[in-house]
Structures are given as C-alpha cells and as structure tokens.
Amino acid sequence: MKKLEDSEKYVPDPPFSGDVVVPVANCGVQEYNSNPKEHMPLKDYISYWKEFIQRDYSSPRGCLYLKDWHLCRSPFHADIFRSFSWSVNICGRKKWFFFPPGQEEALRDCHGGLPYDVTAPEFLDSHLHPVLEVTQEAGEMVFVPSGWHHQVHNLEDTISINHNWVNGCNLANMWHFLQQELCAVQQEVSEWRDTMPDWHHHCQVIMKSCSGINFEEFYQFLKVIAERRLLLVKKIGPGELQCSEDFGLGLQHTIFDISRIAEVLASVVVNPDFQRVDTSRFLPQPEDLLQQLQEALATTEPL
C-alpha cells in the first residue's frame, strides 16, 4: 500500500457546528421584564425553526429565538452596561422603537418598573409614543446610542448580527448604570441591612447575579484598559509623549481614553460602596492607578 505523503494525510472533519449549545429564549412568555431562557444544541434549534415555519409559525413549545436570531420581538430595554451597539440584518426585516435617554421615565409604573411591551394598547397615548421608529431592511445596519431604550419587532424571519461595546465616550454611562443597579439592590433588601452579616458584600453578590458585574470587577475592567493605554504612551522628553503605532490608536485617541478612565476612576475611589470593597489584593491599588493616569495626563497638557 502506498504510504501517504504529509500533504495527503487524513485530517478528520471538524465537529459539526450544530452540536454547539446555544442560549434560546421563549419570546411568547413574559418572565418579569424578560423571557425565560434555556439551552439547546444549535441543530435542535434549526430543526425547531423549520418545524415552526411548517406549522404556520406555531409550536407547542412556543416562539423560541436564538439571540440574535429573532423570530418575534425583544422586550423593552436599554443595552447591557449602557453600551453602544450595532445590528446588521443578514436577512429579514425589523421594526425598531427608540426612546432617547430620559423618555422612558414617563413609562414607569407605580413601582418604578418599565413596561415589557411599549406597543401595548395602554401606551398608545401620543405623548408616550417613541420619538423614533425605524424599519430595518435586509443588508442595513442600525446603530443604537448609549442609554437609548428600545424594542425590536421582527416583521418576518430574521437573522441579524449584533455587537456591543464600551469606550471612552460612554464609560461614565456604564459607571452611572452600575451605581443605579447597586442602589436598586440595596433598596430591595434594605429591611435586612441591620440583621444580615456583611450586608454590603451580599448586595454586591446580588448585583453581580443580576447585572453580570460588581464594583470589584468594574475596577478590574478599568485597570485592564488603563494599563493598556498607559503602555501605548511613553515619555520622549520634558512634556512630550510618543504613542506606539502597533495598537492602531493615535496619540489623541489614547489621551482621550486615559482622561475618561481617570474621570471615572476618580469617582469610583470616593464612592462609599466601593470603599467597602476589599481592595487589599488589588494591584495596583486604585489610588495608585489613578495617580499614574493623572501623571500621564499632566505630561500631555501642552498637546
């Protein structure tokens, strides 16, 4: 038998991507202000989707969607951490309902909660209508500004790709959002403040379970970005800096990011709830990192 050359050696096929487990939500069921979630292999979801269409868009399992592969609609919300986002339709059509920051306050109920569906009959009053409605066609991109509450309806079967990000322009919004989230948790469990040992720590734990991050992790997030930006600049003389071009950021961009991180970190270190976080193992210490950022900014003042 002929021996296979290296270029002819058998290479097994990669695992079928349909075996990947994906998050799926039932958008036909409301669970608080969201939808109940489950996980299933992608191939099972595709089988469900085909059957759902064959049944004239009906299934005893309900209307399931794979984020961001919507078959129905999203609840009213603002994007995670008050991030920016874009959404590109690969196929299908969507209708977006946008509320600029602050406009959502008119929709809160007596308990301060926001509605699940802003297109429900009780919100048809003209002064509650969204300021902006957009129909997105296949091949089009929609940009969602930081802090804009919105709701999305799929007008037909739709596949879209989304991306969320935080940068120097909305970092302060993220910090403000996290403070609001912690305040909401503290209000919910306030009756146990005097009887629960380490109440403040438990509030941080609850906040992380609800929001995906707590104050300690937010500092670590700031630290990673700050240290990367500080690595990009180096002193080349009195009052002069040089920016490395290896990372694709210009000097002004880097300085802008450093200034924004410094502003937010200055607010973080004096926050009473952050001061209750055990920072003894943080390297560098928050105050030391803030000083490094401020020193870098002082060098760039003439620019």
Alpha helices by DSSP H, the chain: 42-54, 171-188, 199-211, 215-232, 251-269, 272-275, 286-300
**Shared-domain flag, residues 194 and 286:** yes
How crowded is residue 237: how many other Cβ atoms within 10 Å of its Cβ?
A: 8
Query: What local confidence, expressed as pLDDT, does residue 4 receive?
Result: 34
Classified as helix, coil or strand, 88 is strand
DSSP class of residue 52? H
The reply to whether 1 falls in a domain is no
**Shared-domain flag, residues 111 and 25:** yes
Complete DSSP assignment for 92-104:
S-EEEEEE-TTGG
Classified as helix, coil or strand, 224 is helix
Residue that is last in its domain, among 146, 165, 184: 165
The CATH number of the domain holding residue 65 is 2.60.120.650
Residue that is last in its domain, among 115, 150, 165: 165
Q: CA 209, CA 185: separation in Å to the nearest integer?
A: 11
- For residue 11, pLDDT beyond 50: no
- For residue 246, pLDDT beyond 80: no
**Shared-domain flag, residues 45 and 84:** yes
- For residue 245, pLDDT beyond 70: no
Query: What local confidence, expressed as pLDDT, does residue 131 receive?
Result: 74
The reply to whether 151 falls in a domain is yes
CA torsion, ordered 243, 172, 294, 182, to nearest 10 deg = -130
Mean pLDDT across the stretch 179-190? Answer: 96
The reply to whether 11 falls in a domain is no
Q: Mean pLDDT lowest for which of 35-49, 139-153, 219-233, 272-286?
A: 35-49
**13 — pLDDT class (breaks 50, 70, 90):** very low
- Higher pLDDT among residues 34 and 42, named by residue: 42
120 CB burial (10 A radius; 0-12, 13-18, 19+): exposed
Classified as helix, coil or strand, 160 is strand
- For residue 3, pLDDT beyond 60: no
**Shared-domain flag, residues 124 and 196:** no
CA 10-16-17 angle, to 5 degrees, is: 135
The reply to whether 3 falls in a domain is no
How many domains are contained in the chain?
2
**Shared-domain flag, residues 235 and 291:** yes
**120 — pLDDT class (breaks 50, 70, 90):** confident
Q: What is the pTM of this model?
A: 0.79
**Shared-domain flag, residues 205 and 108:** no
The reply to whether 2 falls in a domain is no
Q: Which domain holds residue 119?
A: 18-165
- For residue 194, pLDDT beyond 70: yes
The pair of three-digit structure tokens given for residue 195, joined into one six-digit string: 């009887």
**Shared-domain flag, residues 157 and 112:** yes
Q: CA 150, CA 115: separation in Å to the nearest integer?
A: 11
- 111, 193, 195 from 203: Cα distances, Å: 20, 10, 14
Give pairs for 117-122: CB < 8 Å, separation 24+.
117/73, 117/75, 117/76, 117/151, 118/76, 118/151, 119/151, 119/153
pLDDT digits (tens, 9 = 90+) for 55-109: 888 888 888 877 654 446 788 999 999 999 999 999 999 999 999 999 898 888 8
Mean pLDDT across the stretch 250-256? Answer: 89
**208 — pLDDT class (breaks 50, 70, 90):** very high
**Shared-domain flag, residues 121 and 182:** no
Q: Mean pLDDT lowest for which of 43-57, 179-193, 196-210, 223-237?
A: 223-237
The answer to whether the CB of 232 falls within 8 A of the CB of 243 is: yes
The pair of three-digit structure tokens given for residue 117, joined into one six-digit string: 């569906």
The reply to whether 294 falls in a domain is yes
**236 — pLDDT class (breaks 50, 70, 90):** very low
The pair of three-digit structure tokens given for residue 10, joined into one six-digit string: 């058998």
**Shared-domain flag, residues 296 and 225:** yes
**Shared-domain flag, residues 38 and 150:** yes
Alpha helices by DSSP H, 26-152: 42-54
Query: What local confidence, expressed as pLDDT, does residue 127 receive?
Result: 66
**Shared-domain flag, residues 214 and 273:** yes
Mean pLDDT across the stretch 150-168? Answer: 92
The reply to whether 5 falls in a domain is no
Query: What local confidence, expressed as pLDDT, does residue 134 receive?
Result: 95
First vs last C-alpha separation in the chain: 73
Q: CA 149, CA 143: separation in Å to the nearest integer?
A: 13
The reply to whether 238 falls in a domain is yes
C-alpha 135: how far from its chain's center?
Answer: 23
Query: What local confidence, expressed as pLDDT, does residue 146 receive?
Result: 97
Report CA Rg, the chain.
24
- For residue 14, pLDDT beyond 90: no
Residue that is last in its domain, among 138, 165, 192: 165
**Shared-domain flag, residues 48 and 122:** yes
Query: What local confidence, expressed as pLDDT, does residue 119 receive?
Result: 86
